[in-house]
Amino acid sequence: MEKMNIRLFTIPNMLTLGNLVCGAAATVALLVHGDYTLAFWLVVAAAVCDFFDGFTARLLGCSSPIGVELDSLADMVSFGLVPSVAMFSLYGDALSCGWIPVEYFTIGQYLTFIIVAFSALRLAKFNIDDTQHTEFCGLPTPANGLFCLSVAMLMNMGEFTLSKEVILIISIVMAYLLISPVRMFALKFKGYGWKGNQIRYAFIVLSIALIALCSKLAVPAIILIYIVISAIRWSVQTLSKRG
């Protein structure tokens, strides 16, 4: 039997491991120190590593099956476990508006881990779905992770207040979006011309404007706009095919 030559320590794999380490550190920041701001920036760093590991692999021509598997494992921690822990911790710190009986508070808190469960389903589906090379089916896990961590950080900073019930609803809705059939556009350019990239350029310009105008609230706003634009685009495409 021929021995496989598996290269573990390539530049893309090291970036993927950086993603994983950032996710592990973010988990500690949340559970041990209750530091939502640090956890948010660690997830941002994980997302940067996640972007550049694939980019570097294509640039250097060293894509590999082990890199694909490693990427999913790292994403599971940084964009699956960490947002669940953030919602779990945020729920514990929040007040109730009375919809959930006191005796069910603990059950509601643990229901926030639906995010990590559905993230696993999302990543497993992505690995075997050949239709997701140019667009996504369901919300990408990094987008979900950035949304949950930004909401948690902003609430902890006192920018707004959410009840236990609203936090639980957000967790369930975001978890569903991960495995939803909605086709969401990817920021993967085939050439840099305007034709075929209109929605990508428009989204980038809008995102820059939101960062300039809204600063702290920009991240959750950008993710919500991404979801809305993708849902409208998918609905129009679906109706056109049926018509």
How many domains, the chain? 2
Kindly state whether residue 186 falls inside one of the protein's structural domains: no
Grade residue 7 by pLDDT with cuts at 50, 70 and 90. confident
Kindly state whether residue 3 falls inside one of the protein's structural domains: no
- 64 and 119 fall within a common domain: yes
- 98 and 154 fall within a common domain: yes
- 142 and 236 fall within a common domain: no
Distance CA 168, CA 110 (A): 9
Distance CA 26, CA 20 (A): 10
Domain with 160 in it: what CATH number? 1.20.120.1760
Tens of pLDDT, residues 217-238: 999 999 999 999 999 999 998 8
Grade residue 195 by pLDDT with cuts at 50, 70 and 90. confident
Output phi, psi for 136, to 5 deg: -110, 150
Domain that holds residue 227: 191-243
Q: How large a percentage of the chain has pLDDT more than 70?
A: 95
Model confidence at 1: pLDDT above 50: no
**Chain centroid to CA 50:** 11
Model confidence at 243: pLDDT above 70: no
Grade residue 57 by pLDDT with cuts at 50, 70 and 90. confident
Predicted local confidence at residue 129, as pLDDT: 85
Model confidence at 2: pLDDT above 60: no
Distance CA 74, CA 78 (A): 6
- 169 and 221 fall within a common domain: no
- 167 and 204 fall within a common domain: no
Helix (H) or strand (E) holding 136: strand 135-137
Kindly state whether residue 20 falls inside one of the protein's structural domains: yes
**Which of these three, 130, 163, 181, is where a domain ends?**
181
Mean pLDDT of the chain: 90
Model confidence at 118: pLDDT above 70: yes
β-strand partners of 183: 137
Predicted local confidence at residue 60, as pLDDT: 77
Q: How large a percentage of the chain has pLDDT more than 90?
A: 66
The residue count of the chain comes to 243
Query: What mean pLDDT comes out for the span 114-129?
Result: 94
- 93 and 118 fall within a common domain: yes
Model confidence at 179: pLDDT above 70: yes
Kindly state whether residue 41 falls inside one of the protein's structural domains: yes
**Which of these three, 181, 211, 227, is where a domain ends?**
181
